[in-house]
Structure 1
Amino acid sequence: MSLNVIDLIKGQLGPSVTANLSTDLGESEAGIQKAISGLLPVVLGGIINHADDREVTMAISNASVGNETLSSPDSVTSGIPAKIFGDKSSSIASTIATYAGISSNSAGTLLSMVTTAATAAIGKYANDQQLDHDGISQVLKDQKDEVSNLMPAGLSLASLANSDWAKGYRFDEPKQTVTKHDEPIEVTRSTADNGTFPDRELKEDKSIWKWLLPLLLLLAAAYFVYTKYTKKETTVTTTVVDSTGVIQDTTVIMNSPAR
């Protein structure tokens, strides 16, 4: 199972810690939480960039949550911010203060505290797993790809991106939303010199006569048969003079075939 160092660090900065920091620093809890969300990738990125530094890994190895408190870090971890951030600590604090809406002094205090929490959390894991310098270094390097994804939207560290602690993380590049577009479908058409499908109209005209001509012939044949064999009624009237001298008309209806 892969280790998530951020979860280890957040375990040291739970709601109760945030509430206490809000009271101690005179800031809103929302401001404290926002500042911490911005400091997490900054602090972790700085520590990872010093993963091969034995002074840093030794400080991590010697750190223990039971031997120090977040508000009063011991001498082992108190020098870590200066080690990984150099002279950029005040600039980082100022940037975080503007982002979170808190004072620069509060942001500077939080920078030290988040660094202490990160060092202590990683140190406890290293002690539990009995990791040496190489083991701690590898654990930190395995987290490198996750750091830039932790940068909250709206936080810009462009002015600090060229510092040693920020190498490789591109904190100056704002997050962009990638919109997925369907790839266009390419249609290939074949066109002759005299147009596309020049023979289509002629073929369609010929196809009409294939069924129309037989139909006409069938209708003509049916009419011929009908007129030839249908019988006509012929009325014949015969005048007869009987022996009494009375004239009688006799009508005979004859059916004869038509010609």
Structure 2
Amino acid sequence: MVKMKHGALFGKRGLWALCRKVICVIFLASSFLSTYAQEEKVSFEVQNANLTEIISILEKSTGFTFLYQDEQVAAVKNLTLRFTNERLSVVLTKCLAGTDLEWSIEDKTIVLKRQEKAKAPQQQVKSRKITGQVKDETGQPLPGVTVMLEGTKLGTTTRVDGTYTIECGDSKNLALLFSFMGMKSKRVVIGDKNVIDVKLEEDVTELEETVITGIYTRNIETFTGSVSTFKAEELKQISPQNVLRSLCIFVVIR
């Protein structure tokens, strides 16, 4: 609790109330001055004058300062006008008629600027969801297949069960590109389909030119390729510190 000394004029609440009143008075005064400025009367006549000349006349007769860009005002020419005891707001409006300029009054300054063009509403692009499944020639699902929307960077990969989902535009001319190592790439036009299942063929040429490095564990009963078995003692004799180097040497020897 704040204690005020005897004789203090304002407490915190009283001071805040006073500040609000002052702000309100300033705002009303500003609004009044702006309205009064627009109602100020002017009289003059010009023939084939440019806007710069009229601005000079108004600055001298009203005491207002004009703020504008030279290149914008210089384009307004050949003005023939006559005003007798006319309101300033009417004069400004008629002087700028047929141009892309607008006026506003801020204190004792008249600002001329280009009108802001209304932004055209953006058309919402319709999109749709394409789903499907990718399999090999034997009907087995292919996980990890790259699915790209042609001509864009939009894409996805197939899941463990070979399924995929991708969003694209509503155009029927779009196409999907399917690619996977060891398989021939495939291009499919979407058209009006929402479900696209694809079967990829094995690319023998690509498999022959592919070099795969790495070590993994696989059950021998499910492996149909050529198998070579190396014992730990044999690998240690070649290179005790580097197992991969030992494997490479054994492959070369055999």
Which has the higher Rg, Structure 1 or Structure 2?
A: 1
Greater percentage in strand: 2
User: How high is the TM-score relative to the length of structure 1?
Assistant: 0.22
Greater percentage in helix: 1
